[in-house]
Structure 1
Amino acid sequence: MSAVLSLICAHRRGENVGLYSVCCSHEQVLRAAMRVALDHDTVLLVEATSNQVDQFGGYTGMNPAQFRDYALRLADEEGLPRARLVLGGDHLGPNAWQKRPAAEAMAHARELIRAYAAAGFHKLHLDCSMSCADDPTPLPDETVAARSAELARIAERAAADAGWPPPVYVIGTEVPVPGGESSLGGGVQVTRPDAAARTLEIHRQAFASGLASAWERVIAMVVQPGVDFDHSEVQHYDPRAARALSDFLERQPRIVFEAHSTDYQTEASLHALVRDHFAILKVGPAATYALREALFALAAIEDELLPEGERSRLVEVLDRCMLERPQHWQSHYRGDERRLRLLRRYALSDRCRYYWGEPDVQRAVATLVANLRRCPPPATLLSQYLPEQHRDVVGGRLEAEPLALVRHRIYGRLAEYARACARNRAAARTRNETSGVPALSER
């Protein structure tokens, strides 16, 4: 049994255990995530999205096999056993090609999932919910399920031909489009149990023809538990609002819920989500937001230490790249020039994450790191700009090396997820006190 299946089975047996998924390709984020997994003795699930990694390279420039090799190399360097690293693919379907006719878009989607499965990606989110150019809007549920089953059939064959274990699948799409955020407005609504039941049944029917074994490996369904964020606000988890949905899952065999957009939830909310059977927690922008916070803090320290002509000017370089190539943020941010400047730099949606791979930005980061290795930050400036890291430096638990400081900042965010997902029966015993609904093991 794979590590993912083992965790899902443990949760369904009543153990208060979950799985956190780091949806990011940035080296420093992945290195920090690997250290979290080592320190907390967890599996590390790293997921690539369909617009980030595809057969043409995506916006990272990597196809699935290249991303696999990249992640494995980092795991080897960080000392994380390969068996503890699981790769997943998120929103696999025609998303990147939805402006094209369905036949063309689905042809690309078929090759996309074949490449993911052939490269050994084990957890595959089947997402064919988006309408293509000649499709009706919204797309009928039956069409979504039929296309998802078609992709599962291809994944089954590709994994077997390549000698990989059979994949596990996630269905359902009650989330924002990949990489997209919109205003919370009046807030997002929790998925209705009847809507979840319909999604589950329609997919079951679609898998009934020749995919019985694959259906047994559908481990989760994406639903909306009532958590989300936009550029400046976070909708926090309310267990009472999600109680009916949580109760619905307890009457279903085998599966758990997968929660997207859990970024910026409190640690207490993450524990509550796992307790209430939203056992797979996705995190992405919050990790790169922590990366950005650390790099901006180091740039502020650099400004205090070095003459202007020697500085990296990282913040300015990043903003200039975003202005010169606005395709990753222009359709998402609204406002006057002052507001747009603030959003580009500080929005919770963190669309500057798409620019860390730009050559000019990479050079600025390298200059910043080199400068602060040559002129190490004094304790006074660490205390001012990176107080949490300062405490660990003073305590002898952290080196005042620039990239170590960056990873420490990211580590702090991701460790909240690891603690929420680790085996912890004490949290399960509080379920009755907080929501009135006993855990599976208590029924």
Structure 2
Amino acid sequence: MTAFLRQLAQSRRDGKPLGITSVCSAHPLVIRAAARNAAHYSDILLIEATCNQVNQFGGYTGMLPADFVQLVRRIAAEENLPTDKIILGGDHLGPNPWRSEPAASAMAKAEDMVMAYVDAGFRKIHLDASMGCAGEPAALDDATTAERALRLAQAAEHAARKAGGEMPVYIIGTEVPPPGGAHHVITELEPTNVAAAQQTIDIHRDMFRRAGMEDTFSRVIGLVVQPGVEFGNENVVIYDPSKARGLTQLLDREQSLIYEAHSTDYQGRAALRHLVEDGFPILKVGPELTFVLREALYGLDLIASDLIEGYPPRALFKTMEKLMLDNPVFWQGHYHGWPQEQHVQRHYSYSDRIRYYWNQPEAAAAVQTLINVLQGRTAPPTVFRQHLPGFEGWFGKPLDPTALVVAAVQRSLDNYRAACTGG
């Protein structure tokens, strides 16, 4: 499964750079859109779960690693995507969920988590032990980070040998945008310093060598750096190839490696293609996919409000607003300003922190009600134009709300596929 990932560096050296989209979402409709696209194009599907989202205690989704694998494989089978076309990745695997605890207990839990991921079938592992635990600095030095990454790799290797099958490939490095985007408007962003990137590689390589794990390090395929891309609540910083030229040139010396680009959401097709060509062929995307999903659902909510007698006006919108107000833990501290500004951000922010609420029973019930009332109905083109103007191909046809929402996500993924293939 991971052979394609190991060929990305070579494809760039051959002058034919290819990329792959890393879908970072646990939403079933996003997974379905990704699987449907992969099946349609006979592509490989790379789909990743994060340490906070999925872990041995359930994470915020309530899923164990094995549960996530089962979900992905079930949906893939329904979309006729073979299992051997799926690569499962674990993102930011390390002590982050338990960083308020002492390092000893946080790292023990992180090792257990990595083993649970590998045992469940994940074979692309991002080793991220950069964050300090209780009593430590917020960000650790390279040597401590590498030593802890080595421990996590040892746990992964042990689990993989026990489980059988192919051994994992690894991503190292941690200089990434804040998970889910920044909390403020960003006007300028500097890529990772080249010397710092080289030092990260050197220290990890030496740490693995001294532990007798050269074979493991040979399966380190990439490094996470900041290429100069980011999104906040209201703006997006677009990739500037000229600023990342030094990082690109570093790959000419480190020819077995590529970069993994985080927070590529909302970049658009041209910027994404530049990233692939410049040595960032793993393009991670998450919030954009649930953002367009929410756009489609809210458009359908408005159509139902206008057309269906007895459907409470903006029922889905109001349900989501109540959920977020009743349990603000996922957005407080991320959205700022006056109450009305926060109200807008809760629903329409690029950071899309509403995505944390879709798995709540009330949200799932409201979405299902919306689907049920619109299923098979034909909305007048004028109403469609008002609320979902980008879906002209659906005008005048009986509605399949689920298919429409999946198609909305597929359109974003099409931009990524074009960037990855050069099409």
- 1:367 is matched with 369
- 1:435 is matched with none
- 2:257 is matched with 255
Deviates more, 1:306-315 or 1:11-20: 306-315
Kept after mapping to 1: 8 A contact 2:50/2:91: yes
Q: Alignment partner of 2:375: what SS?
A: helix
- 2:387 is matched with 385
Task: Give the partner amino acid of 1:360.
Answer: E
Task: Give the partner amino acid of 1:159.
Answer: A
- Counting only pairs closer than 5 Å after superposition, residues 60-79 of structure 1 correspond to structure 2 as 60-79=61-80
Displacement of 1:180: 5.5
1:405 equivalenced with 2:407 (yes/no) = no
Deviates more, 1:12-21 or 1:407-416: 12-21
Any gaps of 5 or more consecutive residues in structure 2? none
Task: Give the partner amino acid of 1:401.
Answer: D
In the aligned structure 2, how far is the partner of 1:69 from the partner of 1:295? 26
Kept after mapping to 2: 8 A contact 1:171/1:220: yes
1:107 equivalenced with 2:92 (yes/no) = no
Give the 3 Å change call, closer, same or farther, for CA 66–149 of structure 1 in structure 2.
same
Displacement of 1:308: 4.6
Displacement of 1:184: 4.2
Kept after mapping to 2: 8 A contact 1:376/1:401: no
Task: Give the partner amino acid of 2:382.
Answer: T
Kept after mapping to 2: 8 A contact 1:49/1:178: no
- 1:163 is matched with 164
- 2:321 is matched with 319
Deviates more, 1:128-137 or 1:349-358: 128-137
- Counting only pairs closer than 5 Å after superposition, residues 17-416 of structure 1 correspond to structure 2 as 17-179=18-180, 181-208=182-209, 209-309=211-311, 313-373=315-375, 375-390=377-392, 392-393=393-394, 400-416=399-415
RMSD: 1.7
Any gaps of 5 or more consecutive residues in structure 1? 425-443
Task: Give the partner amino acid of 1:206.
Answer: M
Give the 3 Å change call, closer, same or farther, for CA 423–122 of structure 1 in structure 2.
farther
Kept after mapping to 1: 8 A contact 2:9/2:255: no
What TM-score, normalized by structure 1, do the two folds share?
0.92
In the aligned structure 2, how far is the partner of 1:287 from the partner of 1:421? 17
Q: Alignment partner of 1:15: what SS?
A: coil
Task: Give the partner amino acid of 1:63.
Answer: L
Task: Give the partner amino acid of 1:87.
Answer: L
In the aligned structure 2, how far is the partner of 1:312 from the partner of 1:66? 33
Deviates more, 1:176-185 or 1:198-207: 176-185
Displacement of 1:225: 0.8
Displacement of 1:423: 5.7
Task: Give the partner amino acid of 1:409.
Answer: A
Deviates more, 1:125-134 or 1:369-378: 369-378
In the aligned structure 1, how far is the partner of 2:418 from the partner of 2:399? 26
CA deviations 1:53-108 (Å, max 9, x no partner) are 00011111111111111100000000111111110000000000001111111111
Displacement of 1:335: 1.1
Question: Aligned residues, how many?
Answer: 421
CA deviations 1:93-146 (Å, max 9, x no partner) are 000000111111111101010101111101100000101012234312100000
Q: Alignment partner of 1:185: what SS?
A: coil
Displacement of 1:381: 1.9
Task: Give the partner amino acid of 2:66.
Answer: A
In the aligned structure 2, how far is the partner of 1:307 from the partner of 1:6? 56
